Structure 1
Amino acid sequence: MVNRLYHSLMILRRVSFSIAIGLIASSAHIAAAQESVTQEELQDFEAQLEADRRALAAIEAAQESARADLAVVNRQLLAAAQEGARREEEAARIERRLIDLEIEERRAREALMADREGLRDLLAALTAASRRQPPALATHPDNATDAIRSAIIMRDIADELETRSEGLAADIRNYANLIDAVSRQQERLTAEEVELAENQQEIEELVAIKRSAFEDLTGEADALRERVSALAARADSIRSFLEDLEANAPLTPGRKPPEPSDNTSEPDIEDAPPVSVAVLDQLGLPANGRLIQAFGDELPTGRRAEGITLRTRASAQVVAPSDAIIEYAGPFRSYGQMLILRTGDGYHIVLYGLSDVYPTLGQAVLAGEPIGRMTNRADVSPDLHMELRRDGTPEDPQRWMSGRSG
């Protein structure tokens, strides 16, 4: 399917170039016809016109094929994202289990060392007692009580020694089992990390295909990218940036002018999804992670948090919280990589703290679709910040959340 989509895109490029050449030739014919038209020139013009029509039919067929294949890519992206989320959850569960096992292993080791110390003291006492010869009852009848007492003490020591030995053996077995369990969990985690890496590679290949197809079917992506980057460079804050975006709307890039066609009923796979506040009813978390900062929490600066913050795993995938259109994708001041998604009715979702972003400006994304990745650097906490703003004013995103996560 991927090869077929690539083939369709190549056809689009070749045929578009052919049409451009054909239009130049047709224009030359028309200019010549304005002065004098011979029968031969008219036949040449009609032949060129027929060739253009065939080329147009070819590019329309290639477009339809590309759109159909792109729909398959969208489905594969969503499936890959769901699989990635499942594996991230499993890896996180294994990591938590490893932490618990390591705590148990440390306690078992401490208990084992304590038992060894106690057993050593007991053996020392037993050895010292055995060196003392019991008194002869025949020659020292007055020492009978001492002899009986010594025998009782020796018996008690032997019983305690046996109990301690059994306890020590049990501790040794428990410790060995814990070491084995830790080893197995580490192997499982390694296997999950390998699967996650393969899943990540698949996602990156799919998003590259979708982005390439979008840019091929869109006429103003490069100009729009420069325009929004200029806005980002001069914006003082997220609020002013969003105000600039709204003031310079519409920002969704236009299509390349469509050629005349009788078939206008087929929807464009990259057409914007229904942008309405209703999509927020299904707002989800953008990543698997632990909530470390809620909306309205007091910050070290004394201000209140204008969004939520999730502590994710290293290299965690980030997905679109809802159907939306990308209005910004790239670095922004000190926020790192940032995404701004327009959902409609003046609502924008702002995500920042990412390491990589996938979509491009104007691209439509579906809820749950991979749109970026968190850092895997050991010296940087993978904290993903999410804000929901209406007309630039922050709102609590959790108020809209249905409980599902990315």
Structure 2
Amino acid sequence: MRSAGLMAAVLALAGPAAAAATATPEDLTTAAARLESAGAALAAARGAEDRTAPLVAAIGAYEEALARLRGVVIGAGAREREITLELAERRGEIMRLTAALQTMSRVPPPAQMMHPAGPLAAARAGAVLARLTPALQAEAADLAATLREIETARVLQREGIADLASGLAALEAARDQLGGAIAGRGAMDPPEAALRAGRDAETLTALAAALARQPGGGGAEAAAAGDWLWPVRGRVLAGFKAPDASGARRPGLLLGAPALSLVEAPSDAMVRYAAPFLEYGYVVVLEADDGTLIVLAGLAQLAVSAGAPVARGELLGLLGGRNLEVEEYVMLPDADAGAGALETLYIEVRHGGGPVDPAPWFAGENG
């Protein structure tokens, strides 16, 4: 037996893979296909007369495909580390046995059958070797499978990272195009009453209260309470009247979401206010048909104007932030909730004359 083959047999004592791979070539193929579909959607959006809706769909497709790819890359890396640690834990035993078997391999087969205690002892030694050889072959096969799994994991990581890099670049281009499409729409002149409310109010709550006192805008029929869409996908950083990072208790929710997240209308409504407000960036106030007001604060770019109707799920604007490099996207701990670099969106709901807890109005858990 050659030294390299002998080493392979001995390394097999570290055992076969302890668990099924967390990422497979099929996973990578599926994610890459989704990325390709997102690219086709982006190409189709460029030729659309109104590019906003198809660009939003393409961005959503990219984000989903990239999240799947990220899972493949992280899973492959985790599996490679797991197998490597399994082998490392048996390193001392492996090295000692390797030395012994290398010594045996240098002894010619006829000499292996000789024994100083005589023919009977030689026969017994031969029987032991006969039983040992198939066991070593089985261990070598197990090790070969383990080593192939390590190589598969490494290939998945390399190819997945390459796909992530190209996908993130395409996602950045799609976001740029969406920004251009939004800017090209032009903004409607907001009602004077809404502008006055924005100038006079000193807090978001005061702004919402002032708008609530004005005549309604004929809001669209809203989804029932408990059926609203979350405007962004993220996590609740501060609940209703819970202290935020600064210790302030606000009558709304503070959501953390990935940079440049699309902000969507929770329900069919009328836009009562859409403009910058104090330190909150852009603020959008929506009114449903029953007079319920939804305040969304913290947008970096607007896609709607005051006085316009919006449908449930329609784009309202984007959060701020920057595009991530591939290394950041892979290494930071939680891409679905901002990959460690959260932007924030504040939500306040006024119903029945005052602020209420927004959480029960939304369908399911966020994130």
TM-score normalized with structure 2 length: 0.64
**Residue 386 of structure 1: SS of its match in structure 2?**
strand
**Cα shift readout 1:59-100 (whole Å, capped 9, x = no counterpart):** xxxxxxxxxxxxx97x64333323322332222232233322
**In the alignment, structure 1 residue 246 sits paired with structure 2 residue 212:** yes
In 2, the alpha carbon distance for the partners of 1:208 and 1:79 equals 16
The one of 286, 294, 297 aligned to 2:231: 286
Contact 2:194 2:211 in 1 (8 A): no
Contact 1:291 1:308 in 2 (8 A): no
1:387 aligns with 348
The alpha carbon displacement at 1:275 in A equals 0.5
The one of 194, 197, 208 aligned to 2:169: 194
Contact 2:194 2:273 in 1 (8 A): no
**In the alignment, structure 1 residue 170 sits paired with structure 2 residue 151:** no
Counterparts of 1:117-266 in structure 2, within 5 Å, are: 119-128=94-103, 142-144=117-119, 146-212=121-187, 214-215=188-189, 225=195, 227-232=196-201, 234-235=202-203, 238-247=204-213, 249=214
**Residue 367 of structure 1: SS of its match in structure 2?**
coil
2:287 aligns with 342
**Computing the radius of gyration over CA atoms, which structure comes out larger, 1 or 2?**
1
The alpha carbon displacement at 1:325 in A equals 0.8
Taking a change above 3 Å as real, the CA distance of residues 168 and 292 of structure 1, as seen in their structure-2 partners, is farther
The one of 56, 77, 89 aligned to 2:52: 77
Contact 1:354 1:384 in 2 (8 A): yes
**Residue 345 of structure 1: SS of its match in structure 2?**
coil
In 1, the alpha carbon distance for the partners of 2:157 and 2:114 equals 58
Taking a change above 3 Å as real, the CA distance of residues 143 and 370 of structure 1, as seen in their structure-2 partners, is same
In 1, the alpha carbon distance for the partners of 2:236 and 2:251 equals 14
Q: Which amino acid aligns with 1:349?
A: I
Q: Which amino acid aligns with 2:77?
A: E
1:312 aligns with 257
Contact 2:264 2:313 in 1 (8 A): yes
1:39 aligns with none
What is the root-mean-square deviation in Å for CA atoms of aligned residues? 4.0
In 2, the alpha carbon distance for the partners of 1:300 and 1:166 equals 57
In 1, the alpha carbon distance for the partners of 2:95 and 2:271 equals 72
**Residue 280 of structure 1: SS of its match in structure 2?**
coil
Taking a change above 3 Å as real, the CA distance of residues 80 and 136 of structure 1, as seen in their structure-2 partners, is closer
The alpha carbon displacement at 1:173 in A equals 1.1
The one of 71, 84, 89 aligned to 1:109: 84
Contact 2:273 2:283 in 1 (8 A): no
Taking a change above 3 Å as real, the CA distance of residues 342 and 136 of structure 1, as seen in their structure-2 partners, is closer
2:313 aligns with 368
Q: Which amino acid aligns with 1:231?
A: D
Taking a change above 3 Å as real, the CA distance of residues 230 and 136 of structure 1, as seen in their structure-2 partners, is closer
In 2, the alpha carbon distance for the partners of 1:88 and 1:341 equals 27
**Cα shift readout 1:144-171 (whole Å, capped 9, x = no counterpart):** 5544454444445544433333222212
Contact 2:228 2:361 in 1 (8 A): no
Contact 1:91 1:193 in 2 (8 A): yes
In 2, the alpha carbon distance for the partners of 1:404 and 1:134 equals 70
In 1, the alpha carbon distance for the partners of 2:253 and 2:158 equals 36
TM-score normalized with structure 1 length: 0.58
Q: Is there any run of 5+ residues in structure 2 with no aligned partner, and where?
A: 1-47, 325-339
**In the alignment, structure 1 residue 275 sits paired with structure 2 residue 219:** yes
In 2, the alpha carbon distance for the partners of 1:171 and 1:307 equals 53
In 1, the alpha carbon distance for the partners of 2:357 and 2:243 equals 17
In 1, the alpha carbon distance for the partners of 2:92 and 2:241 equals 50
**Residue 347 of structure 2: SS of its match in structure 1?**
strand
Contact 2:259 2:341 in 1 (8 A): no
In 2, the alpha carbon distance for the partners of 1:134 and 1:79 equals 75
Count residues in correspondence.
Answer: 295
**In the alignment, structure 1 residue 325 sits paired with structure 2 residue 277:** no
**Residue 315 of structure 1: SS of its match in structure 2?**
coil
Q: Give the share of equivalent positions with the same residue, in percent.
A: 21
In 2, the alpha carbon distance for the partners of 1:356 and 1:297 equals 27
1:96 aligns with 71
Contact 1:280 1:400 in 2 (8 A): no
Q: Which has the higher helix share?
A: 1
Taking a change above 3 Å as real, the CA distance of residues 178 and 381 of structure 1, as seen in their structure-2 partners, is same
1:43 aligns with none
